[in-house]
Structure 1
Amino acid sequence: MPTPASNIPRSSHPAITSLAPGDRRVLNENELAQRWGVSPKTLQRWRSEGRGPRYLKLSKRVSYPLEAVIDFEYSALHDSTSERVAK
């Protein structure tokens, strides 16, 4: 049985451990939209619905910590189309 993403230690995430000092550790809304192939409006809607990855909001600026993005991506992984989505 595969290991759930929540049980994977953060230090084992390749993108986290491969960051060099000085690398950006956040994505802005447009960068994340481009990474996932969705529109920024979709991310805005998800935030209002409480969906999507955790985000930072400093004043009017929204950014997504890379660690939160990767955790969200891992939690969205599926092994089979027969898996049920937890609600």
Structure 2
Amino acid sequence: MALTDQSTRIREGEELDAAVIDQYLKAHIPGLTGEPRISQFPGGASNLTYLLEYPGKEFVLRRPPFGHKAKSAHDMGREYRILNQLNAG
């Protein structure tokens, strides 16, 4: 049994604009080169999780679902604030 999820193709209707993401990341991560390969982790209907792969680097991008947010959905703003503080510490 694998302990990590394997990313797969992106579900229809949950596609991301790779050019916009690529431009943003390259503006904020020095030395990032190449084009992103984007796939999606299959679990998580409340929040969407993607794998962005560049040559020699991997990133995870999480975002709230498109459209109406479920009441049981994870608070993405709170998650960001906590992870940001942990990274700073």
Task: State the TM-score, normalized to the length of structure 1.
Answer: 0.30
Q: Considering fraction of residues, name the structure with more strand.
A: 2
Task: State the TM-score, normalized to the length of structure 2.
Answer: 0.30
